[in-house]
Each structure stands twice: as structure tokens, then as C-alpha cells.
Amino acid sequence: MGLIIDPAGAASSAPRTPGLDAQPLGSAVRTNDLSVTGVVGTRIEAAAPPDGSNVTLVLVGDIMLDETPGAVIARGQDPFAPFAAILDGADIRIGNLECVVATSGEAEPGKPYTFRAHPRTLEPLKRHFDAVTLANNHSGDFGPGAFGEMLGLLDQAGIGRFGGGADLAQAHRPLIVERKGLRIALLGYDGFLPRSFEAGYDWPGVAWGEDEQVARDIAMARTAHQADLVIPVMHWGWEHETIANPRQRQLARLMIDAGADAVVGGHPHVIQDTEQYRGRPIIYSLGNFVFNGFSEASNNTGWVLRMELDGQGVRRWRTLVARIDAEGIPHPDPAGGGDCWERGQEAAAPCGGE
Ligand SMILES: [Zn+2]
């Protein structure tokens, strides 16, 4: 794909998820219960939260709501309940929705695993998440029609979405979440085949992580969308590899050079290493979160990432260890664990004092 699309160019057709989307300038915007911003006729100014008042962003890895997690929801249980306190205590909660949520479509022929969750699964999702990235290798499992149905269901449920959309321009447009005066742009990209899930000029699908396009999207998030912080959420890497591959490292650095404040990824079904590049964190893979069907302990261990953000970027981050049970439901590890990092630190280290 040699063409560069302009995500700002089609802003008028942006999804209008209440409280979660880029809003036109000059309009009064009530983003959510936590922040009221904007005055009619004035520009929304980026006010960094006062000292000591950070915005907390929680990110989790793969959420797959078909199969046993879907059955857990069908019988009235909430797969996110064990992490409710951590999720609900954050200002922004984000996950990777690793399935399509729809009733329509046909499974992609020849694809070894295809996941389609019932629309009822959006009820618990909505309870604990503000938005999901759709940029992954399963959101297109039942074709573009089912993907399009999911977009409507997410919008109806009031769950924000990014990394995918009704067309290519929308798939590359950031979701702007504003909390405590801080405008955070979330972008999502898939880098794992099949590329046939990619959105086109007039059909729905995911955003694909091409160097030049990603760099442009990040720049546009700051200019056209007035974001204070930009965080790409990636779907990449080799499955079951605990160390990020050269392509992940190259693209992560390119994104930070282009202005990203942090890069967070998933897909390998295991946790991967982390690094700081130019003082900005890269968490290569959070692993699974809600996912059944794995027998190895490494696949049934995921990270919940909690970041504290301020006007300068990520002030500190830590991971919390999730142990995933046989039904694919995550539970906080009673032994604690996880890695911690603070601005200025060279590398993350195991969290102490637990
Ligand atoms: Zn995946």
C-alpha cells in the first residue's frame, strides 16, 4: 500500500461514542463524569493535571469472548470480576478485543481458529472498559460484514474503539480520550496476518502497521486532533516468543521517534520483555487476559499494565500479574509480582514491597 491516508480528512464521519471521541473544536464537551472540558467558542486547551494528580490508564492484553468465556457470560457471570477493583479504579481502561462480536458472517475458510462472540458479551465489557482496539488477527474472522456489525454494536453499547473502523480513514483515526484536561490519543495497528482483515477505502476492517502511515497518524494525532499524549497499541510479534523480534523493536522506536509517548503490544500469547527508548516505555506484549484453550503456564499468565500519565508522558508504570484459569478467566496473582518503572529509570525492575 503506497498511499498515505489522511485520518483527519474524514473527521465528519467520525464515530460519536459518547465521551470517547475526538470532538469538534468550539463545542461544549462533557467527556465523562471525571472531566468537563471545553467552552462554546473556545479552543480546548491542554491543561496538564496538577502535580500529584495523574491520569491512570490500565491496559490489558487479548480479550476473547467466544468459547468458555462466552459461556461464563451466558450463565450470568462476569469474566472481569476478579480484576474489577483494578479496572474500575483507573481513569481509562483499554483492552484488545480478540474476536468479532456479531451474529452475522461466515467463518473464514481455512483459518485454524475463528472467534465470534455473542452481543451479550458487551455488557460486562462495557462495565469495565472504556474502549477496545480492534487491530488484531481475529476481529475479521467472520468477514467484513460481521466486523461492520460489531462497530455498530460497540457504538450502541458506548464502548470506544480504535485500530479498526468502517473504512481505512476511520481505522487510522485516533480515539481521543480526555481525562483531567489531558487529551490522550489511542491508535491501534495489526501486524500479524491475514492482511485481508485490513480496512479499505469503502469497506470495514483493521488498521495495518506500515512505517510511513503510522508515523503520519501519530503526527496527525498531535496536530489535527490536539492530543497531548499519543499511545499506539500494537498487535505483533511471534506467538509464544518471550523476547520481542527485530521488527517489533524497529517499529516501536520509529513510533517513539514520531512522537509516541509509550508503545504497548500484544498477540504472542505470552508476556515479552520491556524497554525504555528515549525515556519512553515499550511494553512489547501483555499476553493473554481473557482467553481459554491454552495448557502452558506461560500462556495462562498475562500482564495488566497500569500507567500513570501526566502532561510529559508516562510518569510511572507497573504490571500486575494475571493468572488465567481453565475457563479463560483472569485472577490477580496472590503472590503479587510484576515489574515497576519510574520516569528517569533506565530499565524496569521487579516491583518491591509486596
Ligand atoms: Zn492475535
User: Dihedral of the CA atoms 151, 154, 156, 157 (nearest 10)?
Assistant: 180
In this prediction the pTM is 0.87
pLDDT at 17: 39
Distance 17 CA to ligand 1 centre (A): 25
Task: For residue 191, report the distance from its CA to the centre of ligand 1, in Å.
Answer: 9
Å from CA of 97 to ligand 1 middle? 9
Longest Cα pair distance anywhere in the chain, in angstroms? 57
* Low-confidence winner among 8-17, 23-32, 59-68 (lowest mean pLDDT): 23-32
pLDDT in tens, 55-76: 999 999 999 999 999 999 999 9
Q: How far apart are CA 173 and CA 175, in angstroms?
A: 7
Ligand 1 centre to CA of 77 (Å) is 25
Residue 266 CA, ligand 1 centroid: distance in Å: 7
Residues in CB range of 80: below 8 A, 6 or more apart: 87, 124, 125, 127, 128, 129, 290, 330
In the numeric block, the cell 512505517 is attached to 211
pLDDT given at position 53: 74
Of 234 and 12, which is predicted with more confidence? 234
The Å distance, Cα 152 to ligand 1 centre, comes to 22
CA of 137 to the centre of ligand 1 (A): 5
CA 267 – ligand 1 centroid, Å: 4
pLDDT, one tens digit per residue, over 190-225 is 999 999 999 999 999 999 999 999 999 999 999 999
For cell 454494536, what's the residue?
A: 153
- Contact predicate 329/300, CB 8 Å: no
Q: 307 - beta bridge partners?
A: 57, 317
Span from the CA of 239 to the centroid of ligand 1 (angstroms): 8
Please give the distance, rounded to the nearest whole angstrom, from the Cα atom of residue 259 to the centre of ligand 1: 25
Distance, CA of 118 to CA of 59 (rounded, Å): 23
Confidence grade of residue 4 (pLDDT, cut at 50, 70, 90): low
In the chain, the domains with their CATH numbers are 55-350 (3.60.21.10)
For residue 194, is the peptide bond before it cis, meaning its omega torsion is within 30 degrees of 0?
yes
pLDDT score for 352: 85
What would the 3-class secondary structure string for the chain be? CCCCCCCCCCHHHCCCCCCCCCCCCCCCEEEECCEEECCCCCCCCCCCCCCCCCEEEEEEEEECCCHHHHHHHHCCCCCCHHHHHHHHCCCEEEEEECCEECCCCCCCCCCCCCCEECHHHHHHHHHHCCEEECCCCCCCCCHHHHHHHHHHHHHHHCCEEECEECCHHHHCCCEEEEECCEEEEEEEEECCCCHHHECECCECEECECCHHHHHHHHHHHHHCCCCCEEEEEEECCCCCCCCCCHHHHHHHHHHHHCCCCCEEEECCCCECCEEEECCEEEECCECEEECCCCCCCCCCEEEEEEEEEECCEEEEEEEEEEEECCCCCEEECCCCCCEEEECCCCCCEECCCC
Tell me how far the alpha carbon of residue 265 lies from the centroid of ligand 1, in angstroms: 10
81 has pLDDT over 60: yes
R_g of the chain computed on alpha carbons: 19
